Amino acid sequence: MVSGPSLAEDAYVRSGSEQTAVKVLVVGHFAVGKTTLIGSLSEITPLSTEEHMTSFSEKVDDLKGVQGKTTTTVALDFGRLTLSERIVLYLFGSPGQQRFVSLWDDMARGALGALILVDPERLADSFEVMDLIETYGLDFAVAINQFDGTVEHTTEAVREALDLLPETPIVTIDARDKESSVNALITLVRYLQKRAALEHA
């Protein structure tokens, strides 16, 4: 069941202000923290399509390392975050499972970039998502969802493990923490602005 409010016009852009709306994807493999991140920082009640996992999903989704997970996103998550008087982000979180990949065509349309969440204990699970982002030609930053009890890696170790370019931003976050999640999105937006400036130079 889709939960969340019906959104009036001012839920998207504040009345009387001139803002640039930026569509950003929040992506990552199954159970990496996408719904949690969007929920931690959205300034509106986030739209969520979390459903209880069924016996079918338990058979096809890899629960290694996330045995306590009981719900999964089946369509998308949506939230909004105003970064400044000029920039408001629309955040679209996608399901991480391969069987939902057909949703990506619509979600990627009009997106300027993506924040890829990775689990430091399941780095190899990120390659399919990264391949999709590159297929759609989106610039991206990587956020390591680091929280209590998980393996710690340096950003350079993650860069090497994921075969990232030197200029690709990497930040460490706790998706439950608003401040670190906002910092990750600011890092992404600055990178997108830099890339746009280079393309128009």
Surface-to-core class of residue 148, CB atoms within 10 Å of its CB (0-12 exposed, 13-18 middle, 19+ buried) = exposed
Domains (range + CATH), the chain: 18-199 (3.40.50.300)
Q: What is the pLDDT of residues 10-51, one digit of tens each?
A: 444 444 557 889 999 999 988 899 989 999 999 998 876 554
- For 98, list phi and psi in degrees, rounded to 5: -60, -30
pTM: 0.78
What is the pLDDT, as a whole number, of residue 49? 55
Q: What is the pLDDT of residues 100-116, one digit of tens each?
A: 677 788 889 999 999 99
* pLDDT over threshold 60, residue 148: yes
What is the pLDDT, as a whole number, of residue 64? 58
User: 3-state DSSP call for residue 91?
Assistant: strand
- Provide mean pLDDT across the span 75-87: 87
